[in-house]
Amino acid sequence: MRLIFLGPPGAGKGTQAELLTANLNIPQISTGDIFRNAVKAGTAMGLKAKQYMDKGELVPDDVVVGIVEERLAEPDCANGYILDGFPRTVAQADALEANLAARGEKIDKVINFVVPKDVLLARLTGRWVCKNCGATYHEEFKPPAKKGTCDNCSGELYQRDDDKLEAVTKRLQVYEEQTAPLIAYYQEKGILLTIQGNKPVEEVYNEIINGLKS
Ligand code: ADP
Ligand code: ADP
Ligand code: ZN
């Protein structure tokens, strides 16, 4: 099963991908995580990506597409994957489609997460992430058992620089302008599954599972 998770920042894509990868036994491929790891490692690609991420802008298409193509060629992607946060522009979606077609493959479903803007703001500004395993928490909606510590791995939790209000506002605007056109793009291909994401985590999860069955 090859899936795309599409939705604005804070919609719950990472949270649901974490649950679904365990269930379907396929990897979650988060371009945001790949970039944050590259920044942490101090690679040339990371330094380049950071300039855009800090401002809440998108990393250029050619950089992102190259990274995803390399990742999809890894053996653990053979039985499918969840693309979390990619594609984010029509150019990225076209490149992905061409790359898959060359191998006789295609995307099965695109999950489109719909969440009102005020909820997105509350989610992003309260988000905490594990430095070690990337698990996501929320100070109010999904607090860890012990403040500042990951339930999974006891890693240290931190708040992303781009989850500050200024960058968040910019990211939501970038989503509307550059990523939201992908909703119609995948609707036309007949593979869009729209999910109401403004519900408790378990209810959203069940809606996705049921949607994938039908
Ligand atoms: P995305 O990957 O789409 O940016 P996340 O999965 O990181 O979104 O979720 C953003 C924030 O909202 C996190 O702090 C997460 O714990 C919280 N969150 C995710 N899903 C829900 C939900 N259904 N209800 C309440 N809070 C949620
Ligand atoms: P969120 O899910 O909260 O929007 P991500 O972790 O997916 O955040 O992305 C963080 C940042 O990484 C983005 O603001 C952008 O700068 C960069 N990024 C991630 N994925 C892409 C992509 N597919 N294309 C361009 N930039 C990306
Ligand atoms: Zn952890």
Q: Is 193 helix (H, G, I), strand (E, B) or coil?
A: strand
* Residue 34 domain-assigned (yes or no): yes
Hunting for tokens 């989610």 — which residue is that? 123
Beta bridge partners of 128: 137
Which ligand 1 atom lies nearest to the CA of residue 199?
Answer: 23
Ligand 1 site, residue 8, Cβ cutoff 6 A? no
43 is in which domain, residue-wise?
Answer: 2-116+179-213
Look up the CATH number of the domain holding residue 96: 3.40.50.300
Q: Say yes or no: CB of residue 9 within 6 Å of ligand 1.
A: yes
Is residue 191 in some structural domain?
A: yes
Count of domains observed in the chain = 1
Name the residues annotated as catalytic: 13, 88, 127, 160, 171
- List Cα–Cα distances, 182 to 21, 78, 87, 120, 192, in angstroms: 23, 25, 8, 19, 10
Q: Is the pLDDT of residue 20 over 90?
A: yes
DSSP helix/strand/coil, 38: helix
- Residue 157, SS3 per DSSP: strand
> For residues 68 and 2, what is the distance between their CA atoms, to the nearest angstrom?
14
In the predicted model, what is the mean pLDDT of the chain?
A: 96
**Tens digit of each residue's pLDDT (9 = 90 or more) over 162-179:** 998 889 999 999 999 999
